[in-house]
Amino acid sequence: MTADQEPTGSPVTAVHGRSRGPSAGFAVVGVVAAVTAAIVIAVVSGPSPQPIPSASPVALVTASPSSPAPSGLPVPSSPPAPSPSPLSTPVATGTIVVLRGVTDPASELVTLTGCSEIVRIAGLPPHPRIKGADVDAVAQAAGRTTGWMFVPPGIQASSHVWLGTDLVEFAQAVGQQVVATSPAGEVWLGGPSGATRWFPIPTPKGLTAWVMGTETVVGRGTCSPWTLPAWIGGQRSLSCSGVGEPGCLQEFLEARSAVGDLVFGNGDAVVAEACTAATRPCPGPTTVVTAPARWSGSMSDLRAAERSASGAAFQPVDARVLEDPPLDALSRPALPLPTGGEKLGNNTCAETLAGQLHASPWDPRVAWAGDMTVVWPTGTRARFLPRVWLNTLGSGSAEQAVLDDPVVVTGILDDTGLAFDACSWTLGSAGIGASGAMGDVPAVTPGPLAGRGTGG
């Protein structure tokens, strides 16, 4: 196993011409050549600085499918020269656009190329079979929690993975401007020439590595110029939920113009609408939320503006009392949280599970108790902000759990004994799982638990 470092920003995705899509063979040759060149650069120049690790995040989102948006929006000017900043906050040189909750991420991204035809290339297997344990071993040997690494099998394109959970840093490292995620957790990265699907590899030690898949989409025929500005209001990222680009960009620019101190330099911005494609015109407001660079997670640090459904001008609002749609869009994308446990397997809600809350956005479990997979009650939601928030919608309780909190879950072990189907949950005793380590074994207690209903 090797842990050769790659120069930050080295693109490792298929590169396609604007008007003609190459064959799959040429795409593979191009990728292998690019990686070979990167290896030579790494050997000659030595290790380069890796991106600064992000604060441990944690969040499930539910976002509406994107929809067509008006054209003819204003285009920001060229990026200003970055001003000096602390070493802990690197200055962004471009803005990553994140399209949230997109039903078909591949089609959404290739549409941005402006090409008249779409070509989808799918290879088998869909992605390299890299083991999470091998990722852990290489990461430990390199002493790293983020950045590019080579992981078995072999020093080749199929083993070149990026380590981390921040999709904005991921897109910057790959060299693509747009990330599109589906409600099912599918992730595509794209740019002027097309898009490629990437797959997460969760590891036993709680890390996530990303590997490029064999499925790509490219545009061909008559293509328009790439119109998405590289620099949008000095933001590291612009996330769009419930509204597609370019409408999302137009909403952000209008909000920034109407509310003078709305944006933070090198921060992250979110545009969220409280509707879906089926409920347009949107019955709720459009909200723009901005977070400072390396946001701590405090709601008081955010700034927000809101436009009513009637289309009035944006007005500043208190970011400490945001509604669910902008909060969901503000949290980091993740796989869907397993829910509906109270409906599974003739659940009698007669057992209890006690353990610490663990969570990771790209682990298939998303959030779990101790070392036990939990299928949470309907309505439970996890948001991956700088710290995880777990709560249940419509429960009438203001109780929330955060990462490493002790929780007590009511339900029943499934037939395999490997997962717990939950009817309800609450904060538990501080004595549960005091070690705080990943892999704590929770206690499962049979029998009824007085005073707790089904939570369904």
The Cα–Cα gap between 226 and 247 comes to 16
Query: Over 60: is that where the pLDDT of 437 sits?
Result: no
Least confident stretch, 74-88, 94-108, 253-267: 74-88
Q: What is the distance of C-alpha 386 from the center of its chain?
A: 13
Of residues 185 and 284, the one with the higher pLDDT is: 185
Burial of 441 (0-12, 13-18, 19+ CB in 10 A): exposed
Average pLDDT over all residues of the chain: 77
Domain ranges of the chain: 341-445
The answer to whether 331 and 383 are in contact (CB under 8 A) is: yes
Contact present, 247 and 69 (Cβ < 8 Å): yes
Going by their DSSP bridges, the two strands 208-223 and 372-375 should be labelled as unpaired
Q: Is the pLDDT of residue 225 over 70?
A: yes
pLDDT at 90 over 90: no
Q: Cβ distance 183 to 63 under 8 Å?
A: yes
d(CA 368, CA 450) in angstroms, rounded, equals 23
User: Has residue 426 got a pLDDT over 80?
Assistant: yes
CA distance 257 to 234: 14
Which carries the bigger pLDDT value, residue 277 or residue 177? 177
For strands 372-375 and 419-427, give the pairing: parallel
pLDDT digits (tens, 9 = 90+) for 321-368: 888 889 989 999 999 999 999 999 889 999 999 999 999 999 999 999
Model pLDDT, residue 49 = 31
Distance of alpha carbon 28 from alpha carbon 454, whole angstroms:
52
Question: The tokens of 99 are what?
Answer: 């399209």
Question: What is the per-residue pLDDT for 177?
Answer: 97
Residue 128 has pLDDT above 80, yes or no: yes
**pTM greater than 0.85 (yes/no):** no
Q: Which two tokens stand for residue 242?
A: 């419930």
Which residues sit opposite 209 in a β-bridge? 163, 201
In this prediction, residue 59 carries a pLDDT of 29
pLDDT the model gives residue 11: 39
pLDDT of residue 276: 58
Give yes or no for a contact between 426 and 402, defined as CB atoms under 8 angstroms apart. no
Would you state the structure tokens that stand for residue 423, as one six-digit string? 């009817």
Residue 56 tokens read as 């441990």
Dig out the tokens for 102 from the structure: 């997109």
Q: Which amino acid is at 53?
A: P
Backbone angles phi, psi at 407, to 5 degrees: -130, 150
pLDDT digits (tens, 9 = 90+) for 303-330: 999 998 777 899 999 999 888 889 989 9
